[in-house]
Amino acid sequence: MNFLARIRLVAIAVMLFAIAVIAPAVAQKLGPDGAPDPTASVTSERSLLKQMPRAEGRIDIPDTKAGVLIQPAGRSWDYFHEVLLHWSGAIVLLGTIVLLGVAYLIIGKIRIAAGRSGRKVLRFKAFERFSHWLTAASFVVLGLTGLNVTFGKRLLLPVIGPDAFSSVSQWAKYIHNFTSAAFVVGLVLITVIFFKDNLLEKVDIDWVKQGGGFIKSKHAPAGRFNLGEKLVYWLSLAAGVAVSVSGVLLLFPFYGTDIADMQLAQIVHAVVAILFIALILAHIYIGTLGIEGAFEAMGTGEVDLNWAKEHHDLWIARQLASKEGQREPSTTAAE
Ligand code: HEM
Distance 94 CA to ligand 1 centre (A): 20
What is the average pLDDT across 25-43?
Answer: 61
Phi/psi at 68 (nearest 5 deg)? -90, 115
What is the average pLDDT across 43-64?
Answer: 77
Distance 56 CA to ligand 1 centre (A): 30
Kindly give, in sequence order, each residue whose CB lies less than 8 Å from that of residue 115, ignoring residues fewer than 6 positions away: 306
* Per-residue pLDDT, 60: 87
Cβ of 184 below 6 Å from ligand 1: yes
CATH, range 122-328: 1.20.950.20
Cβ of 149 below 6 Å from ligand 1: yes
Cβ of 173 below 6 Å from ligand 1: yes
With 0-12 / 13-18 / 19 or more C-beta atoms within 10 angstroms meaning exposed / middle / buried, residue 11 is exposed
How sure is the predictor about 75, in pLDDT bands with cuts at 50, 70 and 90? confident
Whether pLDDT at 50 is above 60:
yes
Distance 255 CA to ligand 1 centre (A): 17
Indicate the average pLDDT of the chain.
87
Neighbouring C-alpha atoms within 13 Å toward the C-beta of 78: 6
Question: Residue 248 CA: which ligand 1 atom is closest?
Answer: 5
The span from the CA of 49 to the CA of 74, in Å, is: 12
pLDDT digits (tens, 9 = 90+) for 215-272: 655 678 899 999 999 999 999 999 999 999 999 999 999 999 988 999 999 999 999 9
What is the average pLDDT across 3-23?
Answer: 70
Is 109:323 a contact under the CB 8 Å cutoff?
no
* Per-residue pLDDT, 22: 57
The span from the CA of 262 to the CA of 265, in Å, is: 5
Whether pLDDT at 104 is above 50:
yes
What letter represents residue 332's amino acid?
Answer: T
How sure is the predictor about 43, in pLDDT bands with cuts at 50, 70 and 90? low
Length of the chain, in residues: 335
Q: Which one of 250, 251, 263 would you pick to mutate in the ligand 1 pocket, going by the greatest count of ligand atoms within 8 A of its CB?
A: 250
Whether pLDDT at 1 is above 70:
no
How sure is the predictor about 180, in pLDDT bands with cuts at 50, 70 and 90? very high
CA distances from 190 to 15, 179, 194, 210 (A): 82, 17, 6, 28
pLDDT digits (tens, 9 = 90+) for 113-162: 889 999 999 999 999 999 999 999 999 999 999 999 999 999 999 999 99
The span from the CA of 269 to the CA of 80, in Å, is: 13
Distance 270 CA to ligand 1 centre (A): 7
What is the average pLDDT across 60-79?
Answer: 84
* Per-residue pLDDT, 329: 47
Cβ of 181 below 6 Å from ligand 1: no
Is 313:226 a contact under the CB 8 Å cutoff?
no
Distance 197 CA to ligand 1 centre (A): 29
Cβ of 270 below 6 Å from ligand 1: yes
